[in-house]
Amino acid sequence: MAGIGRRHMSKILLILLCGKALFSSFEYSPVGASKLFPVTEAAVEYTVPGRADRACYAVLSATPSLGFSFEQPYSLKDLMAGMTVFTMPAGNLGFMISWAHFGMEGYRENTVRSGMGYTFGKIFTTGIDAAWCNLGIDIDSITVEKNYFDLQWSAVLSLFSLLDLSFTLENIRAMIYDERDSLLQPRWSSGIRFVPVRGFSLIWNISKSSGTLLNTISATAHILPAFSLSMGYVRETTACSAAAVLLYGHVSSSYCLKFHPYLGATHSFSVTLMYDHIALPSLQFDSMKSTSSRRKKIREKININVCTLEELTGIPVVNEDYAERIYKYRQLIGPVSEKSLYQIGMNSADIKELHEYAHGFAREEKRDNAGDNHGKKGKRQEQKGLYHEERRRMFVLLVDAGIRPLASLKITEQAKEGGLVAVDRYLREAGELDDGDKEKVRKICASFR
């Protein structure tokens, strides 16, 4: 009887889904890494790896990543939803491509998105995404196969490090043309992300879809550099959700529980593979001070290129790893510029916040790499140490070749102390680099001989 009941339930669900398709398809927003709500949200907590589900937030991501998510909406065993998303931040640019699936046997929705984002001065970030959507229905005498193309635009206005104002407009073509000729319904969302203290954020979104307005409220706390908790609530449906995220090495895993009072519970799982090892901007209780003391601290900015290591670690946005990298960069290569911070692994959001606590950033200068004076100095560089400009060029080449920032700094340090001979010795003993990375380093070093 239980099996018969499940089959009847599946048929009823399938009929409902087909009826939904006649009016509005693709209404269940693709799941993402620990995403709290199955609706479009303009403001998201993008410091959590894998939550960047559009190109606008790919720019603000801390590292390139590849994420996989899966869930069974409302615990219905025959219904599945999943998403695969790849994001690539590249300085002021960001790129994103994703594939999302929703449906069951006899009914499926597939959506492929790709987009590009750009940030203007770390204050205004915008992005455009293109979506190809496919709807397939194949039950009894009903067979439908529909394809549709549409666009999405998103923008984020960052005010200091405390407030983000966000807006997303989905299915733009469906707004311009007759909605009855479209599989998609126009959707928009506007939201606010408020960060009163480092490591804690409050987000409020108003989202419209199929004529319905939803108010979603959520809070995220990065308890530890590798552990985060989130909770959310939808006022109109009284649905609630909670998520936990754990980082280990280059992997971020998450679990999310969504509960609807009538439809039941949804369990979501996701794994995100990260190119760089990152740490969440965790809670720092010493930053919970009055507004006047915060302003006083901001007025007393330190010089990024002359301050001590202890002063660097005292900056809220700079953890111990970044402080050590900045300090080593100054010792080995020279003055730190904004571009240098990108090269050592900091993201645009952290760099923007760093400007509130530090000044004296070096200016980027155009250099001619052709005149490296290899001829007369080559032998001396091999035996002693590389000159200042060559160390700078080596570090940039290593980072551009995909060598991790910390490893690039270690290699540059060896080049300073003992020249290319010391680098060769280091490569033979280094355990954190695989054979492919070692070969890249050797090819780069060969250009300095």
**What pLDDT score does 433 carry?**
77
**What pLDDT score does 33 carry?**
60
* Integer-rounded Cα radius of gyration of the chain: 25
Architecture of the structural domain at 2-274: Beta Barrel (2.40)
Task: Please say whether the beta carbons of 174 and 58 come within 8 A.
Answer: no
**What pLDDT score does 84 carry?**
92
* Of the candidates 221, 339, 327, 229, the residue with the CA atom closest to the CA atom of residue 281: 221
Residues of the chain with pLDDT under 50: 1-26, 287-298, 367-385
Task: Please say whether the beta carbons of 203 and 193 come within 8 A.
Answer: yes
**What pLDDT score does 217 carry?**
94
* Of the candidates 306, 287, 89, the residue with the CA atom closest to the CA atom of residue 200: 287
Buried b (16+ CB within 10 A) or exposed e, 71-107: bbbbebebbbbbbbbbbbbeeeebbbbbbbbbbbebb
Q: What are phi and psi of 296, to 5 degrees?
A: -60, -40
| Contact residues for 106 (Cβ-Cβ < 8 A; gap 6+) | 14, 137, 138, 139
**CA–CA gap between residue 6 and residue 12 (Å, rounded):** 10
Strands 358-359 and 302-303: parallel
**CA–CA gap between residue 270 and residue 81 (Å, rounded):** 12
Whole-model pTM? 0.64
**What pLDDT score does 164 carry?**
93
**What pLDDT score does 19 carry?**
43
| Token couple for 428 | 């033979």
| Token couple for 102 | 């929703």
Q: Where are the domains of the chain?
A: 2-274, 288-446
**What pLDDT score does 127 carry?**
95
pLDDT tens per residue, range 373-402: 444 444 444 444 455 677 778 888 888 787
**CA–CA gap between residue 347 and residue 400 (Å, rounded):** 16
**What pLDDT score does 221 carry?**
94
Task: Please say whether the beta carbons of 126 and 155 come within 8 A.
Answer: yes
**What pLDDT score does 294 carry?**
44
Kindly state the helix (H) or strand (E) to which residue 296 belongs, with its residue range: helix 291-299
How many C-beta neighbours within 10 Å does residue 257 have?
Answer: 14
**What pLDDT score does 37 carry?**
77
Largest CA distance in the chain: 88
Task: Please say whether the beta carbons of 221 and 240 come within 8 A.
Answer: no
Kindly state the helix (H) or strand (E) to which residue 18 belongs, with its residue range: helix 2-23
How many C-beta neighbours within 10 Å does residue 444 have?
Answer: 20
The amino acid sitting at 391 is R
pLDDT tens per residue, range 166-224: 999 988 887 777 555 556 678 899 999 999 888 899 999 998 876 678 899 999 999 98
pLDDT tens per residue, range 256-297: 998 888 778 888 899 999 988 788 888 865 544 444 444 444
| Token couple for 78 | 């025959």
